[in-house]
Structure 1
Amino acid sequence: MQIGELAKATATKVTTIRFYEGIGLLGRPARTTSGRRTYGASDTDRLNFIRNGRRLGFSIDEIRSLLALADQPDRDCGEATEIASRHLADVEERLRQLGALRDELAAMSAAGCSAKTMAECRVIQAIAGPTA
């Protein structure tokens, strides 16, 4: 298939496919005599893997490591589990930070603002933080 067909089959923009090729996540495709890129089922599978990994929030480097592991089917999966565990810890930390942010914003919103001017607005003052 050609790049447009791969893009459609995987719901991926052509520019994204080229980007993944450029950084080495997707291999360089075979080319026709006229220079058009051609792709096969393995490219579709690999691109779907990349897209699913990105959807789950894995970094490019994490996906690169997971792909390298996946390319060695007889290898122990312990390293993949370690990568997923580290990623889970990162996600849990971000959730903790978002929870704190939510609480802070809720407190600011609940306090409201009875000021008549922005110079006296408690919401703006809370965002600005303490003054020296």
Structure 2
Amino acid sequence: MYRIGELSKACDVKADTLRFYEKHGLLSPSMRTEAGYRMYTESDAERLRFILRAKAVGFTLAEITELLSIELDKSNWACADVKGMVDIKLEHVEEKIAELNYFRESLQRLSDACCGGPESAEHCSILEALESNSAEVKCENHTHQHTQTEYKASCKVKG
């Protein structure tokens, strides 16, 4: 049997994390002492490790709840059901990666278009691009910091 502090230490999480999982129905102590201390069994520790591994690969609390319900009733589920959950999660991750790549490329174009000099931001290409309806980013016309060749090379940022 583990007290909450012992289980949290054994699994390298904070006791607040265990309380959070308890609040959301993912984990509950097997019993409480007369003094009200939460007591966990080895089975509870295994369940916590399952939750932590699922969280580590990106599953949400709701998805973990579903996985736990499958885990408790394996005989009434097919491997295909679990694989389907993983494949859906993988698809969402791939969509998020594509979105983040788009953000990175867009931010890089904005950064490349700006001279980054000490001048007033009145003609800042970043602000102008964000204010415009166009996907095109125009370079600032500040050549004092760059040679004309460097400036032209940095202006290849049409969206």
TM-score, length-scaled by structure 1: 0.89
Corresponding residue pairs, total: 131
Structure with greater helix share of residues: 1
**Match for residue 83 of structure 1 among 79, 82, 85:** 85
1:84 aligned partner, one-letter code: V
Residue of structure 2 equivalent to 1:111: 113
Structure 2: give runs of 5+ residues left out of the alignment: 134-159
Structure 1: give runs of 5+ residues left out of the alignment: none
1:36 aligned partner, one-letter code: Y
2:7 aligned partner, one-letter code: L
TM-score, length-scaled by structure 2: 0.75
**Match for residue 121 of structure 1 among 109, 121, 124:** 124
Give the distance between the partners of 1:129 and 1:55, measured in 2 at CA.
Answer: 39
Moved over 6 A (4+): none
Distance 1:57-1:114 versus aligned 2 partners, 3 A rule: closer
- The alignment partner of 2:74 has SS state of coil
1:32 and 2:10 are equivalent in the alignment:
no
Give the distance between the partners of 1:7 and 1:125, measured in 2 at CA.
Answer: 51
CA contact (8 A) 1:113 1:123 kept: no
1:8 aligned partner, one-letter code: K
Distance 1:114-1:66 versus aligned 2 partners, 3 A rule: closer
Q: CA RMSD in A?
A: 1.9
Give the distance between the partners of 2:8 and 2:85, measured in 1 at CA.
Answer: 28
Computing the radius of gyration over CA atoms, which structure comes out larger, 1 or 2?
2
Which digits, 9 at most, give the CA deviation of each residue in 1:78-99, with x for residues without a partner?
2111110100000000011011
Distance 1:64-1:129 versus aligned 2 partners, 3 A rule: farther
Percent of paired sites with the same residue:
35
CA contact (8 A) 1:7 1:17 kept: yes
